[in-house]
Each structure stands twice: as C-alpha cells, then as structure tokens.
C-alpha cells in the first residue's frame, strides 16, 4: 500500500529510526567478541602493571580452556602466566597470598562451579582480611571465569553464583554482558584494591558486540557499581545482568511490536548494586520485572524487590514487582528440560503483560508446570504454594 500522507510517512520513518538504527559511535566501530575483549583487558593491564599476573588451569600453554588468555603466555612468559594443577583450593590460596604480598593476581576458575573447592579462600581469606586487619592488608585479587548455565553440562556445571558471592561483604561482584562490559569492567576489577568476583558467561564468549573507538582504547575503564540502561522505555522496567540481559532485550523487542516499551537495565555490578538507576526507572515506568538465570530463592531478583519494598520507590509501583528466574531445580541434562529450566524471551514477555494488566497471578517458570506457565495463585492447591 502506498503511503501518500506525509505525516504518516514521517511518523513511520521516525519509529523505524528509533527502533532499528543507532546514532551512537558503535555504528561505525569494530565488532569484538566477548572473548577477545577479555583478552584485550588482560593484555593491557599486564602491560600497564608488572604486578598483574594470571594463574589457573590451562591458562598458559593451552591459551586457556576458552582461549581467553590466548597469546599471553608467549608474550609475558612463565612467571606471569602460570599453569596450575587441578587444585582450586591450592591456586586460589596462592592468589590470595600473592595479593597479601602486594601483587595483583587474576585467578581463573575453569568454571565457577569449581570455585566451591576454593570458597574458603574467596570468603574467609580474600573478602574478610581487609576488615580483620583494620585496613592494613588490602587484597587486590580478581577471581574470574565462566558462570551460570552453559549447554549440555548438567547440574554440577550450570549454577549461577551471582547471589552466592554478592551476599558476602568484602567482595565486589561483577557480571558483564557485552564486549564493552567485559573489557571495561575487567580492567576496573584488576585495578581495584578489593577482591573482585568476575562472573563471565560461556555462551557469550563467542558473541561479537560493536565497540566504539573509546571502548577500544587502552585507557577505557568502566566504573564499578554503575548500571547501564541498554534500552529506554516508559511502560515497564526490566532489570537483569549477564546473559539474562540478552533474554530481556529480546523480550523487549518482541513487546515493542505490541506497543509496550520496556526499559532494560543491565546491572553490570551485583555488589555494589546501583539501586539509584533502578529506582529512577521505576519512578518513570511504575512497573518492575527482574530477570535472572539463577534460582529464585534468595536470588538477585529477590534482593532487588526487597530494596524496592524498603524504599520510596515502592510507592511508585502500580502493580506488584515480578521475578523471572531459572527453575527451582538442579539443571537437567536432557536438552528439552534444560530449555525449560532457563528463562526465555516469551517467559519475560508473558510476565510483562501480566504485570501491566495487574492480574493477581503468580508467574511460575518450572518444568513441572510447563514452559512459561502463568497460574492463578488462588487456584493452586495449598501444597503448591510452597513447592
């Protein structure tokens, strides 16, 4: 159909330009994978500061299990890129001790599931020493590696540790989404005087994101504790981090076709948490949905909802805040069940529609009830309220 009306044509082009075209510097910039952005950050910080070194399983001669440390051993040698035995408790303890002595170790866990072997060093040694020494002993160590669900690796290799580590005072906990996040936040983590847990995502390693000239520069550093509004909107606030940001953005694109504009906040930092950005967005949209891949109980979404309840932001809400999370089960190995155990864009979209309709429902994302099931809370038998 021909569009003969100039105002109609202008309006259509305006909407298309707003949703399809970018006016940022990233438009003419270079696409960089998250893996390469992390590699750039490590390389630049090791060149900048001789006290920075990397240790972990297969980080040196094999270039890292996920090739994040590719080329660093050849460039910096055995003393600064160190292959360790398969003993997380051992090399995490070495990293913390090196930080006590004034070095800046970057300790790579092949997966954060294995950090459970070393959690005594992460929590009792790294997180608490600065406080217990009355500020006399800083601990500038970074614990980094892939976190959360991968694909086909079942229950013992698929946990998200965002809520685990952000519960602990003394740690800073970062969860990057894009290549810009990965580079800028890792550089900030390495320079920080406190222990930092840096939660990457295996699924995102090979994903390219556009990076501006500013982000590609050697001196690019992002502030710790500051969220990023990935997409502006006026109807509902979606708060997320890491891979869940991609899920939220896909849902936001889908909902935009229905006239629902979501504001998507990429937290970047779980501790410290940028609550001011969340509160400002809620004051604009009056609706809140949190999205995470981790389990629901005591999760990041639960913390955000609690802070909203305890602040003036609560009075800005026109409907209860909802959480969309991973299912409250160990990660299944079967591919079909694995898909059901993680939030997907249709699940987020369904939650947003229900929140905007202010329906008295419970959004339950569990394999036993079926994918993205929306169930009337009062219609459930009493036992299902707690199971």
Ordered alpha helix ranges (H), 141-226: 162-166, 179-191, 213-216
Q: How far apart are CA 104 and CA 57, in angstroms?
A: 18
DSSP secondary structure of 232-298 = --SSEEEEE-THHHHHHHHHHHHHHTTT--EEEEE--EEETT-HHHHHHHHHHH--EEEE-SS-STT
- Find how far residue 156's CA is from the centre of its chain: 20
Q: How far is the C-alpha of 143 from the C-alpha of 133, rounded, in Å?
A: 21
Query: Choosing from 88, 263, 303, 316, which is the catalytic residue?
Result: 88
- The verdict on whether 88 is a catalytic residue reads yes
- Cα distances (angstroms) measured from residue 50 to each of 45, 80, 83, 108: 9, 9, 18, 18
Sort 135 into a burial class: Cβ within 10 Å, 0-12 / 13-18 / 19+: exposed
Give the separation between CA 300 and CA 205, rounded to whole angstroms.
Answer: 23
Task: Give SS3 for 30.
Answer: strand
- 299 secondary structure, DSSP code: -
* Catalytic residue flag (residue 202): no
Determine contact, residues 216/30, Cβ cutoff 8 Å: yes
Catalytic, out of 45, 108, 121, 157: 157
Nearest to 262 by CA among 223, 232, 292: 232
What is the dihedral sign for C-alpha 335, 337, 341, 342? positive
Query: Taking the C-alpha atoms of 299, 303, 309 and 313 in order, what is their torsion angle to the nearest 10 degrees?
Result: -120
| Tokens (6 digits) for 255 | 């909902």
The catalytic residue positions are 88, 157
């Amino acid at each position: 159909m021909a569009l003969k009306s100039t105002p109609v044509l202008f309006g259509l082009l305006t909407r298309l330009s707003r949703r399809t075209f970018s006016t940022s510097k990233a438009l003419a910039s270079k696409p960089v994978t998250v893996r390469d952005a992390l590699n750039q950050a490590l390389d630049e910080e090791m060149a900048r500061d001789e006290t920075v070194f990397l240790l972990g399983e297969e980080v040196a001669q094999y270039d890292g299990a996920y090739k994040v440390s590719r080329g660093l051993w050849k460039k910096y040698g055995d003393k600064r890129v160190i292959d360790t035995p398969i003993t997380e408790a051992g090399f995490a303890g070495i990293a913390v001790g090196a930080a006590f002595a004034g070095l800046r170790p970057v300790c790579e866990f092949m997966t954060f599931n294995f950090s459970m072997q070393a959690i005594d060093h992460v929590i009792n040694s790294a997180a608490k020493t600065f406080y217990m020494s009355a500020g006399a002993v800083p601990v500038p160590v970074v614990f980094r590696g892939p976190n959360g669900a991968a694909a086909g690796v079942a229950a013992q290799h698929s946990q998200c540790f965002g809520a685990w580590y952000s519960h602990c005072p003394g740690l800073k906990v970062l969860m990057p989404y894009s290549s810009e996040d990965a580079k800028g936040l890792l550089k900030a983590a390495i320079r920080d005087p406190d222990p930092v847990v840096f939660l990457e995502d295996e699924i995102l390693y090979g994903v390219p994101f556009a990076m501006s000239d500013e982000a590609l520069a050697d001196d690019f550093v992002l502030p710790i504790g500051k969220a990023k509004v990935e997409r502006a909107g006026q109807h509902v606030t979606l708060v997320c981090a890491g891979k869940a940001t991609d899920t939220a953005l896909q849902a936001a694109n889908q909902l935009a076709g229905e006239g629902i504009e979501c504001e998507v906040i990429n937290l970047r930092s779980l501790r410290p948490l940028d609550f001011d950005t969340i509160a400002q967005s809620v004051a604009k949209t009056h609706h809140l949905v949190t999205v995470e891949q981790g389990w629901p109980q005591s999760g990041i979404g639960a913390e955000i909802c609690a802070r909203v309840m305890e602040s003036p932001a609560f009075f800005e809400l026109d409907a209860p805040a909802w959480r969309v999370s991973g299912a409250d089960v160990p990660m299944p190995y079967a591919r079909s069940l694995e898909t059901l155990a993680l939030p997907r864009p249709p699940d987020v979209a369904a939650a947003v529609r229900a929140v905007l309709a202010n329906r008295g429902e419970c959004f339950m994302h569990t394999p036993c009830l079926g994918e993205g099931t929306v169930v009337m809370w009062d219609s459930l038998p009493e036992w299902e309220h707690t199971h």
